[in-house]
Amino acid sequence: MHGEKTSPSHNVLRKKMYNGTTMTKFLLLAFSDVRELQILHFVMFLVLYLAGLMGNLLIITAIALNHHLHNPMYFFLVNLAILDLGSISVTIPKSMANSLMNTRVISYSGCAAQVFLFMFLGSADIGILTVMAYDRYVAICQPLHYERVMNRRACIQMAASTWISGILYSALHTGNTFALSFCGGNVVDQFFCDIPQLLKLACSDSDLSESGVIVFSACLALSCFVLIIVSYVQIFRSVLRIPSPQGRHKAFSTCLPHLTVVSLFVFTGITAYLKPSSRSISHLDLVVDVFYSIVPPMLNPIIYSMRVQEIKAALRKLIGQRLFMTNKMSIFLL
C-alpha cells in the first residue's frame, strides 16, 4: 500500500530529471566515425548545398530583374525559392560543421530552432504549392477573371497568409514537442532535429498530445494535397477542351513543372514519414531522410528552369550579362 502511494511521486521526479528544459544538448546521427568518410560527407553536402543555394538564388534574381516575369505565377515561384533556400540552410550547414569538427552535438536551443524553422518552412512550402495550383486553375479555367481574382493585393495576402500560418503552425508543433519529458536519452537518430525522432525519446505517457498534433498535421497536408488534385482535375478538363494543339501544349507547359514539384514534395514526404519506424536506423532510412530534406529544394529550380521557357530565357539573359561584365572587367584590367 505504501509502495502504491510513493510510486507516482517517484515517476514525477524521474520525469523532472529528464525533462527537456533541463537537457542542455542532443547528439545528432553521425554518418561515419571514419575521418575520411566524414570529410567525404562534408564535401558531398557542400556540393548539394551550393547547388541548391545557387539554383534558388538564380531563380530569385532572374525573376526580380526581368519585368516581364512580374506576375502572380512568378511571384509565388520567388516565395517557393526563398522557402527552399531557407529549408536547406536550416539542416545542411550544421551537419557539415559537425562532420568537419568530428562532433555530433547540437544545443537544446539549437535543436528547438531547427525544429521550428524546418516545420515553418515545410508547412509554408505546402501552402505556397497549394496557392500556385489555385493560380494555375484561375489562369486556365477562368482566364477572363484572372486579373481581377489574382490582383497584386490578393497575391500578397495569399502569400502572407501562408507564411503567417506556417509560423503559427510551427510554433504549436515546436512548443508541444519541447514541452514533453524526454526519458529516452538525448541521441537523435537523424542528421538534424526532426520531430518523429524526438518523439522516440519522449516518455511513453507524455507524447499523446504531440501525436494528436501529428494527426492534425497529416490532415492539413492531405487537405492541401486534395485541393491541388481538384485544381488539376479542373485544369486538365479545361485544357483538353482547347481546340488548338499549340494552346494545349502551352497550358500543359505552365502546369507540368508545378505538378512535378508537388509530386516530388509529396512522394519524398510520404516515404520519409510513413516508413516503418525501428529502433536502429539503417542506411536506407538515412538515404530516405537525406532525399526528402535536401533533394526537393535542390531540384525545384532545375525543374522550373528546364521546363518554363520564360525562366530559361531570363536565366540565359542574366548569365550572359554577368559573363559580358566579367569579360569587360578582365579586358579593362589588362
Q: What pLDDT was estimated at residue 3?
A: 42
CB crowding 20-57: b at 16 or more within 10 Å, else e: beebeebebbbbeeeeeebeebbeebeebbebbbebbe
Q: Which three cell numbers stand for residue 40?
A: 567525404
pLDDT at 279 over 70: no
In this prediction the pTM is 0.81
- How many Å apart are CA 317 and CA 304, to the nearest integer? 16
- How many Å apart are CA 222 and CA 232, to the nearest integer? 15
Average pLDDT over residues 243-271: 77
- How many Å apart are CA 216 and CA 156, to the nearest integer? 27
Q: Which three cell numbers stand for residue 148?
A: 481581377
Average pLDDT over residues 12-20: 41
DSSP structure string for 40-78: HHHHHHHHHHHHHHHHHHHHHHHHHH-GGG-SHHHHHHH
Lowest-confidence pick of 141-150, 273-282, 300-309:
273-282
DSSP letter at 68 equals: G
Any residues with CB less than 8 A from the CB of 249 and at least 6 apart, and which?
Answer: none
198 contacts 290 by C-beta, under 8 angstroms: no
Q: Which three cell numbers stand for residue 49?
A: 548545398
Q: What pLDDT was estimated at residue 19?
A: 44
Domains of the chain and any CATH numbers: 2-333 (1.20.1070.10)
pLDDT, tens only, 317-328: 777 766 555 555
| Average pLDDT, rounded, for the chain | 79
Dihedral, 212, 160, 252, 140 alpha carbons, nearest 10 = 110
Average pLDDT over residues 111-136: 92
Reported as type and span, the H/E element at residue 146 is: helix 146-149
pLDDT, tens only, 171-203: 988 888 888 777 778 888 888 888 878 888 877
Average pLDDT over residues 45-50: 92
Instruction: Name the nearest CA neighbour of 137 among 150, 127, 124, 125.
Output: 150
Q: Give helix 245-273 / helix 108-141 axis angle, nearest 10°.
A: 160
Reported as type and span, the H/E element at residue 120 is: helix 108-141
